[in-house]
Amino acid sequence: MVPEDKINEFVEKIRAAAGANLEGVILYGSAASGDYHPEFSNVNLFCVLRDGSYAKLQPLAPVVKWWDRQKQPAPLFMTREELERSTDVFAIELLDMVQHHRVLWGEDPIKSLQIPMRLHRIQVEYELREKLILLRQHLLLAGDDESRIRELLLRSVASFATLFRHALIALGESAPATRRDAVALLSARVGFDPWAIEQVLDVREQKADGKKLRAFEIVGRYLDAVEKVTSAVDRMLQPDGRS
């Protein structure tokens, strides 16, 4: 289901546009981990440059605009030094990239990154709390519109399932690769009801019809699961990252 032809075309175009300034092109995210869904997932690309100045970025603009027309998010562009010095602020994202990425062209600066796990724990709690607050905001904006609530659940579940996986890592578990297994393992570890999360994952994984997803019945238990995980992560982890 991953659009390999479009990915390959991007690599060809960016190589031609960047020339010697390009060190590598990396595929990451669901397209690299095996959780890709063409309706809900993006193709995430990361480009390593030797020089990230404005003058060196300008020749890449037509390629990025072309990629945007493919309805994909703009690739990330960083220098190798920026990447190596970002592990303290992007611990979750870069740990995911270390564990699940594919080199499309050039060198692989990802595999050797050292992620500070103490800071990873802090980011896990921060992201859970931030996304819980945003979920409440969007639920209030959706009001009694079940279709909007259904869309909100389907759009947010991947992020929460990813954070559940990282909560397991912060708690010292060997987290499974799939979102569903991560939800099940964390529910056993911290004691929340995974039913609502699993119902939404069924739709994303094409095991159930999204039009039949009863959002009004699910949303309360979905929010409760997120609240319990967020609270449990805060209680179970010490400030130094130890469980």
Instruction: Name, in order, each residue with C-beta under 8 angstroms of 107's C-beta and a sequence gap of 6 or more.
Output: 23, 24, 48
Question: For residues 130 and 143, what is the distance between their CA atoms, to the nearest angstrom?
Answer: 20
Q: Domain coordinates of the chain in residue numbers? A: 4-106, 117-236
CATH topology (fold) of 4-106: Beta Polymerase; domain 2 (3.30.460)
Top-confidence residue, 34 or 129: 129
Count of Cβ atoms closer than 10 Å to residue 90 Cβ: 18
Q: With the C-alpha atoms ordered 156, 173, 115, 48, is the resulting torsion angle positive or negative? A: negative
Q: With the C-alpha atoms ordered 13, 56, 92, 129, is the resulting torsion angle positive or negative? A: negative
- For 152-200, how does the pLDDT look when each residue is reduced to its tens digit (9 = 90+)? 999 999 999 999 999 999 988 987 878 899 999 999 999 999 999 999 9
Q: What is the DSSP letter of 239?
A: T
Residue 33 has pLDDT above 90, yes or no: no
Mean pLDDT of 73-93: 96
Residue 34 has pLDDT above 60, yes or no: yes
Residue 241 has pLDDT above 70, yes or no: no
Strands of 101-106's sheet, edge to edge?
Answer: 76-79, 44-49, 22-28, 101-106
Instruction: Name, in order, each residue with C-beta under 8 angstroms of 201's C-beta and a sequence gap of 6 or more.
Output: 157, 161, 179, 180, 183
